Amino acid sequence: MSDKKALLSSIPSVDELLNNEHITKLLDIYPRTVLVDSIREYLKKYRESILQAEDVHKLVLSHNSIIDGIIAYVKDKSGNNLKNVINGTGVVLHTNLGRACISPAVIDNLVKISSRYSNLEMDLAKGSRGSRYDHVEEILCYLTKAEAAMVVNNNAAAVMLVLSTMAKDGEVIVSRGQLVEIGGSFRVPDVMAQSGAKLVEVGTTNKTHLWDYEKAIGDNTKALMKVHTSNYRIIGFTEEVKSDELVDLGRKKGIPVIEDLGSGMLIDLSKYGLPYEPTVQEAIASGMDVVTFSGDKMLGGPQAGIIVGKRKYIDEMKKNPLTRAFRIDKMTLAALEGTLKLYLDEQRAIKEIPVLRMLTEDKEEIRKRAEKLYNKLMHSLEDKCSMLLCDDYSEVGGGSMPMHKMPTIVISISSDRISVNQLENKLRSNETPIITRISKDRILIDMRTIWEDEFDIIEEALIKALE
Ligand SMILES: *Cc1c(COP(=O)(O)O)cnc(C)c1O
């Protein structure tokens, strides 16, 4: 205990620290109040670490370490909480890492629109009030061949708005095999309950027939709903009613048919080697009255919920008070319009929308990038770790194409100097955090989701972690 007392009394005072030349320099960057508060907070933690230490001799304590600690603490505290990370997981649509990276091609306009005034809600031809939805409606209709379109904050809001507008106080029939839960607690039955519509489940988990829907239709049936089971597959003895059959039934009974596509694709990626998934155009062509999908899944744009379909329903949605609560903001609209424009030329979309580029990139292209980074890292780290280039598989993520494994190349690292968990932790705590995978006691950096301009940061972080 006396050791602890001696240590505690050796801690310099705030005033002493403020006179230190390295700390004084920080005043050029940070306000004095911020600096003083940070020093106090740091010293408090420092004291606590001494008090809680079981063996004080194990603590590295010195005047210099306090100064270094304070500098790092102020820097860390004053930096943004929300910051770029390097995604070494290979999961292209990583929900924890912000899902889709927006195309660099649309960023300039996004910055311009958000930092100055815009015609967000002004009809410039008439000089009167306009609608924020007009800016993307035409291109959405052009791309999907739908009659009308609108956008809200995310697809969960889109589904809620659709159900609340079309089926409030009525019944909606959904197959038991499609009552999905999407990460982050979006559950079809819960969203349905919130919207004021009553869920009528039909069929069984693995099989639902057209006559299941037909039998469940009653006087109060307001819609038939299909939900794309994006994040899981039921395989084996299964049956689902095809969209056009469901649409035919709806027409015959005068009931609208809606589809939550989840991950909305505008390009059939099966020609690029990915599994077939129904596109938005196909859903519209099948006769669906209303289709909803996300902006930041396979579409590769900003977070948004896109609704396309028959004009009479979309017009009603625009008047629903929920639309005001779910309304999309101008930054998102700017990014969404820019992303949609890229789809006018499919080759351009594949090249310039990061999600599409990463998903369609073949292993040999990834290998080239991997070799470049590998050579760079070998140059500076050769004697500090064991490093290999290996074949592996990456995932789509975002609850999309759950069974699909994409062949990729990973850089696999281990070192005698540090455990694999410590290395993972150090990389994750880097100033620009690097998120990696651990497999068989090695760190894996999947090159599918690594950008070439991130190589220097990765090299620096590894040098620091293994020094
Ligand atoms: C992802 C998903 C949602 C939720 O979309 P968000 O844009 O994340 O709100 C809803 N339904 C399905 C089928 C989905 O896959």
Mode of pairing for the β-strands spanning 122-123 and 181-182: unpaired
Q: Give the nearest ligand 1 atom to 228 CA.
A: 13
Residues with CB under 6 A from ligand 1: 154-156, 180, 182, 186, 227-228, 230, 260, 262-263, 294, 305, 399
User: Last residue of a domain, which of 352, 371, 401?
Assistant: 352
Tally of domains in the chain: 3
CATH code: domain of residue 381? 3.90.1150.110
The answer to whether residue 1 scores a pLDDT higher than 80 is: no
Cα-to-centroid distance, 358 and ligand 1 (Å) = 21
Q: Are 367 and 118 in contact (CB under 8 A)?
A: no
**Would you place residue 58 in the very low, low, confident or very high pLDDT band (cuts 50, 70, 90)?**
low
pLDDT > 90? residue 195? yes
What pLDDT sits at residue 60? 62
- 344/364 same-domain check: no
Q: Whose CA is nearest to atom 14 of ligand 1?
A: 262
Residues 340 and 368 grouped into a single domain? no
Per-residue pLDDT, 236: 80
Domain closes at, from 78, 113, 135: 78
Burial annotation 240-275 (CB, 10 A radius, 16+ → b, else e)? bbebeebbebbeeeebbbbbbbbbbbbbebeeeebe
Q: Say whether both 61 and 120 belong to one domain.
A: no
Contact 94, 436 (CB under 8 A): no
Same domain, 337 and 389: no
Contact 363, 409 (CB under 8 A): yes
Listed range (77-81, 166-170, 405-409) with the worst mean pLDDT: 77-81
HSE, CB side, 13 Å, CA atoms: give it for residue 44. Answer: 6
Looking at the fold, whether 319 and 381 belong to one and the same domain comes out as: no
Quick one: 169 and 47 in the same domain? no
Q: What residues make up the domain containing 422? A: 86-95+358-465
Q: What is the pLDDT of residues 273-299, one digit of tens each?
A: 999 989 999 999 999 999 999 999 999
Mean pLDDT of the chain: 93
Residue 382's pLDDT is 85
Q: Is residue 137 exposed (0-12), middle (13-18) or buried (19+ Cβ within 10 Å)?
A: middle
Confidence of residue 163 (pLDDT cuts 50, 70, 90): very high
With contact defined as beta carbons under 8 Å apart, do 461 and 430 qualify? yes
Residue 104: predicted pLDDT: 96
Identify whether residues 303 and 204 lie together within a single domain: yes
CA of 178 to the centre of ligand 1 (A): 13
Q: For the residues of 224-252, what is the DSSP string, one character each?
A: EEEE--TT----SS-B---HHHHHHHHHH
Tell whether 235 and 255 lie within a shared domain.
Answer: yes
424 in the same domain as 318: no
- What is the structure's pLDDT at 435? 98
Q: Are strands 86-87 and 434-435 parallel, antiparallel or unpaired?
A: parallel
β-strand pairing of 386-397 with 257-262: unpaired
Mutate to test the pocket of ligand 1, among 182, 226, 232, 277 (most ligand atoms within 8 A of CB): 182
Instruction: Give the distance (Å) from ligand 1 centre to CA of residue 99.
Output: 12
| pLDDT bracket for residue 184 (50, 70, 90) | low
Q: Which CATH number does the domain housing residue 308 bear?
A: 3.40.640.10
Calculate mean pLDDT across residues 161-179. Answer: 95
Residues 325, 193 within the same domain? yes
Are residue 348 and residue 363 in the same domain, yes or no? no
| Higher per-residue pLDDT: 449 or 10 | 449
Band of pLDDT at residue 308, cut at 50, 70 and 90: very high
pLDDT in the model for residue 115: 96
More confident position, 60 or 142: 142
Q: Which residue out of 95, 155, 277, 307 has the highest number of ligand 1 atoms within 8 Å of its CB and is therefore the one to mutate?
A: 155
The backbone torsions φ and ψ at residue 238, rounded to the nearest 5 degrees and listed phi first, read -130, 160
Tell me what pLDDT residue 281 has.
Answer: 98
Shared-domain flag, residues 309 and 200? yes
